[in-house]
Structure 1
Amino acid sequence: MTDQVVPDTEHRSIIERLPQLPRDLAQLARFDRPIGWWLLFWPCVFGVWLAGAGAQFALLGWLLLGAIAMRGAGCVYNDIVDADLDRKVARTAARPVASGRVSKKLAWGWLVFLCLIGLLVLLQLRLEAQVIALASLALVAAYPFMKRITWWPQAWLGMVFNWGLLVGWAELRFDNWEALAAIYAGCICWVIGYDTIYALQDREDDALVGIKSSALRMGGRVHAGVTAFYGATVALWGLGIWLYRPDVFALLALLPVAIHMAWQVATLDPKDPDNPLARFRSNRWAGALMAAACFVVGNAGA
């Protein structure tokens, strides 16, 4: 039974106790790997807390539910599209659709159910935020094909995974988009950095089956590449904060997340099979630190 649990699950004991079909559906939506929805949720928090309207816990609760459901839906869609490729990669060959344990028909049904949960969340938002949220669907639909046509699918993923920043902001205010654009650009660089670290796990298999990734493109310059993208992340976040609140002390709020990213790069070891995954997962804390910075900057003096 354990050979049907993917290697990087974070909740192996829980997943292994589920009956076969619920276990497969949970894995298909990556419920066993919450890092994905954390990384989708944190940009939502950035937008909400930077807006300066306080904690907004009820709104964040809905956005968290949406992040879990839509990240799950995106993963199901990705696995349907990528089933043939997943069979050729050691880390993904055991996925439910690729292995044949879940049919594509059932996977589509599960996808629709998760999207209905996302629709419920969408209906809680005001019209402007709804329109912006729906505009992301084209990006989401195109993402699985990016690894076939560009060495930088992580850049496309960055546009998708940080869309919640725009949604959270638009729910509370509809101005100062130049500051938000800089922070959004910084978030894209953040995703390129951490997803390059994640892609280090699959470099050999990806090269064999023809999947493109930034980790392959950087080759032996991964440390320099990730450092550059993380540096651009902090610089763009700093620019966005300055455009929002031109105060040197506001920029100091970024210091903890900058230190965390420097730690990631300094301790990254591509030759250690477990190290890249651990560094990638540590970005849930990077997101938390940036969210705290947004709260401080957005609500200072409120």
Structure 2
Amino acid sequence: MSTSTTTILPDAVAGNWVDRHAPERLRPWLKLGRFDRPAGIWLLMLPGWQGIALAAAERGRWPDPLLLLAVFVGAALMRAAGCAFNDIVDRDFDAQVARTAMRPIPAGQISVKQAWMFLVGCSLVSLMILLTLGWVAIGLGVLSLGLVAGYPFMKRITWWPQAWLGLTFNWGALLGYAAATHHLSWSAALLYASGIFWTLGYDTIYAIQDIEDDALAGIKSSTRRLGRHVRLGVAGFYAASFALLIAAAWVGNIGPLFLPLAGAFALHLSRQAAAVRLDDGPGALKLFKSNALAGLMVFAGLVAGFWKPGVSF
């Protein structure tokens, strides 16, 4: 058994299901798609679920479970395709950064040609799912490809690649809303904007892990740009996210049961911001992963918000 195939990547949980249960030959492919690190799947999927829940709550309904399932599968596959593309573009940078040097491409487990085949396969299955969601959602899905394609290059040209990731990862809020309603609205746009600042905050925290290696490799990030003001920056991003979320709920006339879970979301984010330490990479990873729970709070709040006083179901 080769050491490189069984190496647990630094940002994967020890004992994750890929390293414990997946056949050895499949492990590099699953790691290329980051299936050993499911936090990213949640963070890409949850804005889509939130968009679906927002649309349902505005109409006084429960979210469509089949639509939620379609978004979950599509998000998992598109996240895998996006990670493969990112690794293809960044393979030389990844080889210089301790956290990423053992990823399948820089480690020599998967060739660039094979990675392209993986990317195309995941994308085609995602496309089949997208084609069932209506023309507005299809159009949004096509437009998202530009965001996905541009992301790996942002760290070369701007100090704020985390903002571009926010634009990309939260596109599902618009797509999920459109899949449920076949149109867009100001409430969906505000939810999308809230997600952008949420991602800007949690990915700034995530980049703390690489701050020294990024400086050596010349990779830009909001974390490096903020420097010793990173905690204040994260707090500001999260405050903006919460304010925009409340605005989305207000414009969408979401019921009052949304508010307790929105408050829990705000408390969770404030605790994250208070705990940020520029010299604590492992702590930063833990804070980053906790955002799956934060996103679930928003989703649950929007689901609960379908009830409005004076309306019986």
Give the alignment partner of residue 257 of structure 1, picking from 265, 268, 281: 265
Provide closer, same or farther for how the CA distance between residues 111 and 299 of structure 1 changes in structure 2, counting only shifts above 3 A.
farther
Match of 2:301 in 1: 293
Match of 1:37 in 2: 41
Tell me, yes or no, if the aligned pair for 1:215 and 1:222 is still in contact at 8 Å. yes
**Would you say 1:87 and 2:95 are equivalent positions?**
yes
1: distance between equivalents of 2:299 and 2:17? 29
Structure 2 counterpart of 1:8, one-letter code? D
SS at match of 2:281: coil
Q: Which consecutive residues of structure 1, in runs of 5 or more, have no partner in the other structure?
A: none
Give the alignment partner of residue 15 of structure 1, picking from 7, 13, 18: 18
1: distance between equivalents of 2:66 and 2:307? 17
For residues 178-225 of structure 1, give each alpha carbon's deviation from its aligned partner in whole angstroms, at most 9, with x where no partner exists: 222112111100000000000000000001111000000000011100
Match of 1:131 in 2: 139
1: distance between equivalents of 2:190 and 2:115? 37
Provide closer, same or farther for how the CA distance between residues 102 and 251 of structure 1 changes in structure 2, counting only shifts above 3 A.
same
SS at match of 1:136: helix
**Would you say 1:100 and 2:108 are equivalent positions?**
yes
Number of residue pairs aligned between Structure 1 and Structure 2: 302
Deviation at 1:19, TM superposition (A): 4.4
Provide closer, same or farther for how the CA distance between residues 92 and 193 of structure 1 changes in structure 2, counting only shifts above 3 A.
same
Mapping of 1:52-131 within 5 angstroms? 52=56, 53-131=61-139
2: distance between equivalents of 1:142 and 1:221? 27
SS at match of 1:92: coil
SS at match of 1:88: coil
SS at match of 1:94: coil
Q: Which moved more, 1:289-298 or 1:192-201?
A: 289-298
Q: Taking structure 1 as the reference length, what is the TM-score of the superposition? A: 0.94
1: distance between equivalents of 2:79 and 2:16? 22
Provide closer, same or farther for how the CA distance between residues 297 and 249 of structure 1 changes in structure 2, counting only shifts above 3 A.
closer
Structure 2 counterpart of 1:16, one-letter code? D
Mapping of 1:268-283 within 5 angstroms? 268-283=276-291
Deviation at 1:242, TM superposition (A): 1.2
Match of 2:180 in 1: 172
Provide closer, same or farther for how the CA distance between residues 176 and 14 of structure 1 changes in structure 2, counting only shifts above 3 A.
closer
Tell me, yes or no, if the aligned pair for 1:189 and 1:229 is still in contact at 8 Å. yes
Tell me, yes or no, if the aligned pair for 2:258 and 2:302 is still in contact at 8 Å. no
For residues 47-84 of structure 1, give each alpha carbon's deviation from its aligned partner in whole angstroms, at most 9, with x where no partner exists: 11111241311111111000110000000000001001
SS at match of 1:274: helix
Structure 1 counterpart of 2:245, one-letter code? W
SS at match of 2:232: helix
Q: Taking structure 2 as the reference length, what is the TM-score of the superposition? A: 0.91
Report the RMSD for the aligned CA atoms in angstroms.
1.8
Mapping of 1:153-302 within 5 angstroms? 153-174=161-182, 177-245=185-253, 250-300=258-308, 301=311
Give the alignment partner of residue 6 of structure 1, picking from 4, 9, 12: 9
Match of 1:46 in 2: 50
Structure 2 counterpart of 1:116, one-letter code? L
Match of 1:142 in 2: 150
Tell me, yes or no, if the aligned pair for 1:11 and 1:33 is still in contact at 8 Å. no
Tell me, yes or no, if the aligned pair for 2:276 and 2:284 is still in contact at 8 Å. yes
2: distance between equivalents of 1:168 and 1:283? 20
2: distance between equivalents of 1:174 and 1:62? 16
2: distance between equivalents of 1:16 and 1:233? 36
Provide closer, same or farther for how the CA distance between residues 22 and 250 of structure 1 changes in structure 2, counting only shifts above 3 A.
closer
2: distance between equivalents of 1:62 and 1:249? 26
1: distance between equivalents of 2:90 and 2:254? 46
Structure 2 counterpart of 1:191, one-letter code? T
SS at match of 2:105: helix
1: distance between equivalents of 2:129 and 2:186? 27
Q: Which moved more, 1:75-84 or 1:265-274?
A: 265-274
Structure 1 counterpart of 2:292, one-letter code? R
2: distance between equivalents of 1:277 and 1:123? 36
Deviation at 1:20, TM superposition (A): 4.1
Tell me, yes or no, if the aligned pair for 2:190 and 2:244 is still in contact at 8 Å. yes
